[in-house]
Chains A and B, each alone.
Chain A
Amino acid sequence: MESKAGEIISQEERDILQELMNIAFGNATADLAQVIDIYVQLSVPDIQVVAINKLPDYLKDAINSDSKSSIVEQKFWGSFQGSGLLVFPSGSGMDLLALLHEKESEEEPSNKVPMDLIEKGGLLEISNILIGACIGKFSELLGTFVTYSPPQVFHGNSDECESFINGFNPSQTAIVMKTVFDFQDKNVSGFLLILTGYESLDWLRKALHDFLGSYE
């Protein structure tokens, strides 16, 4: 993938970033087990620097490998800002509901919330927690707190997906952190992308050095 590490962040900074995310995700895993009662395995994050004009292609590659996948996007803002993006294989919503032990309502279907909404709701709820856990733990390590917008869900082959991908400013550069997650024993896995743009780059670089400084 596109790598202009020298210009955007140095190899050293990239290493710190990776290490920090690793620690953050480790913390997230432990706490997730407490909150949702599921052990979520998070892989060592892969960090890429992608020129924004290459980002649409990068995302299309990442997402459209399964055009029926469900994508949940959540924006976060503060000193550290960007988007969290979870990509689930199609049909995961139902499996996730089962994970949350939410049973189908016994009511007559005309009175209850339609199934697709319940499935969407399950996806959104668990994604909100997963993204919040990863970004929250990471921000905490770097001594900041972020605010979140409500998550949105769309399908990989939809117009919404297209306009989401095309919505990125083509004149910028993004740092993409990619992690594979796996709900252990539950057969649900997918990946998490954290996209952060130019706005938080100065802050991020400083925070990384401050973090390193605190150990020196």
Chain B
Amino acid sequence: MIFTQIFDMLDAGIVILDKELHVFKWNRWMATHSNIPPEKIIGESLFTFYPDLNVPWFLRNCKSVFTFGNFAFLSYKLHKYCFPFKSHNSLGYNFTHMQQNCTVGPLRNDDSNIDYIYINVQDVTEVASYEKKLIEMNTRDGLTDIYNRRFFDTRLEEEFVRHKRYDRPMSMIMLDIDFFKDTNDTHGHQAGDFILVSLTKLLSGRLRKTDIFCRYGGEEFCCILPETTIDSARSLANDLLHSVSSNTFVFNDTPIKITISLGVSVLSESTDSAETLLKETDDALYQAKKEGRNKVIVAGDT
């Protein structure tokens, strides 16, 4: 009697499924969030109502629980949710769906056989929001809102390993604002900050979503171009060069013109580490500076 009450009083979802994955029990929390009353879903296949769960990972985990009597942990980090329920606004983030941690466990009969499994659904939207906020604070540059150096270093290492492993092309562009100190001295640091922000907006608009663009330091930026050959990287670099030199930045009614220098390199067979790639790109940038600035230099071009 009391146990039956707990089933409906809990502030968490509980679903009980039989071996065919038909719904055997559906508690009040589930009914409330799904807008499906128990009488409508009990006896029906879970997949009639939630066809997106009819996928290998979900089936595999249920099968494992039936077979081994273990537990399956379906984390929001990987799956976001099992049941697409409406989410509430948390910390200013609006997730399209409630983020859920789900646990699947065995229920045994008197002969210790597993006839049913349960799914416990926990709303972890708030946790997911905190995590998102922390990650943002940890990976973004405060001024320009593009990625920071810390994030870049981690991703560079990962992308390097991945591209090496699958033998895929990957390029890198490093760029620096020419005579940025003069801009700061002439127009003030506020204007300098404005240039940094405007420039990143301008450049971001010309990059793909897959490119990893970061503020590397001061007025220096770096961009990892996954799945990109050196020819594409070269033409992108030239495009960036011209889009900056042809643009007029207007700060407090004052027009400011700037140029950038760019170094470009590509992952090759002889590139033994992520640092090597970074160094080659940096050397190319240095060369571009040396050769008069407002220029693209591709490593290996002589």
Min distance, Cβ A133 to any Cβ of chain B, angstroms: 5
List the A side residues contacting B57 at CB < 8 Å: 100, 102, 125
Q: Are B70 and A109 in contact (CB under 8 A)?
A: no
Q: Are B64 and A129 in contact (CB under 8 A)?
A: yes
Quick check: is B72 within 8 A (CB to CB) of the other chain?
yes
Q: Are A133 and B61 in contact (CB under 8 A)?
A: no
Instruction: For the complex, give the distance between the alpha carbons of A96 and B165 in Å.
Output: 15
Q: Are A132 and B60 in contact (CB under 8 A)?
A: no
User: Which residue from B56, B63, B108 sits with its C-beta under 8 Å from A100?
Assistant: B56
Quick check: is B71 within 8 A (CB to CB) of the other chain?
yes
Instruction: For the complex, give the distance between the alpha carbons of A46 and B43 in Å.
Output: 47
List the B side residues contacting A15 at CB < 8 Å: none
User: Which of B22-30, B73-81, B85-93, B228-236 faces chain A?
Assistant: B73-81
Quick check: is A1 within 8 A (CB to CB) of the other chain?
no
The answer to whether A121 and B75 touch (CB under 8 A), given A100-B57, A145-B112, is yes
Instruction: For the complex, give the distance between the alpha carbons of A150 and B77 in Å.
Output: 13
Q: Are A108 and B209 in contact (CB under 8 A)?
A: yes
List the B side residues contacting A155 at CB < 8 Å: none
Q: Are B60 and A100 in contact (CB under 8 A)?
A: yes
User: Which of A3-11, A31-39, A49-57 faces chain B?
Assistant: A31-39
Instruction: For the complex, give the distance between the alpha carbons of A25 and B103 in Å.
Output: 25
Quick check: is A118 within 8 A (CB to CB) of the other chain?
yes
Instruction: For the complex, give the distance between the alpha carbons of A28 and B106 in Å.
Output: 17
Min distance, Cβ B162 to any Cβ of chain A, angstroms: 7
Q: Are B69 and A34 in contact (CB under 8 A)?
A: no
Q: Are B63 and A132 in contact (CB under 8 A)?
A: no
Quick check: is B4 within 8 A (CB to CB) of the other chain?
no
The answer to whether A108 and B158 touch (CB under 8 A), given A34-B63, A35-B60, is no
List the B side residues contacting A128 at CB < 8 Å: 64, 70-73
Chain A 18-49 against B: per-residue CB contact (8 Å), 1 yes, 0 no? 00000000001001001110000000000000
Instruction: For the complex, give the distance between the alpha carbons of A120 and B75 in Å.
Output: 11
Cβ < 8 Å to B, chain A residues 58-110: 91, 94, 100-102, 108-110
Instruction: For the complex, give the distance between the alpha carbons of A113 and B75 in Å.
Output: 12
Min distance, Cβ B170 to any Cβ of chain A, angstroms: 14
Q: Are B70 and A133 in contact (CB under 8 A)?
A: yes
Q: Are B68 and A31 in contact (CB under 8 A)?
A: yes
Our count of residue pairs bridging A and B at CB distance below 8 angstroms stands at 82
Instruction: For the complex, give the distance between the alpha carbons of A115 and B154 in Å.
Output: 12
User: Which residue from B63, B78, B158, B209 sits with its C-beta under 8 Å from A118?
Assistant: B78
Min distance, Cβ B40 to any Cβ of chain A, angstroms: 31
Quick check: is B210 within 8 A (CB to CB) of the other chain?
yes
Instruction: For the complex, give the distance between the alpha carbons of A100 and B55 in Å.
Output: 12
Instruction: For the complex, give the distance between the alpha carbons of A113 and B210 in Å.
Output: 13
Q: Are A148 and B63 in contact (CB under 8 A)?
A: no
**Closest chain A residue, CB of each to CB of B68:** A136
Instruction: For the complex, give the distance between the alpha carbons of A23 and B101 in Å.
Output: 34
Min distance, Cβ B54 to any Cβ of chain A, angstroms: 15
Q: Are A137 and B68 in contact (CB under 8 A)?
A: yes
User: Which residue from B64, B71, B108, B158 sits with its C-beta under 8 Å from A147?
Assistant: B71
The answer to whether A140 and B70 touch (CB under 8 A), given A110-B209, A121-B77, A125-B61, is no
Quick check: is B48 within 8 A (CB to CB) of the other chain?
no
**Closest chain A residue, CB of each to CB of B114:** A145
Quick check: is A151 within 8 A (CB to CB) of the other chain?
yes
Q: Are B70 and A129 in contact (CB under 8 A)?
A: yes
Quick check: is B246 within 8 A (CB to CB) of the other chain?
no
**Closest chain B residue, CB of each to CB of A121:** B78
Jot down 28 A-B pairs with beta carbons below 8 A, ordered by A.
Answer: A31-B68, A35-B60, A35-B67, A91-B165, A108-B209, A113-B77, A115-B162, A116-B158, A117-B78, A118-B78, A120-B78, A124-B75, A129-B60, A129-B64, A132-B64, A132-B69, A132-B71, A133-B67, A133-B68, A133-B70, A136-B68, A136-B69, A137-B68, A140-B69, A145-B106, A147-B71, A148-B70, A150-B73
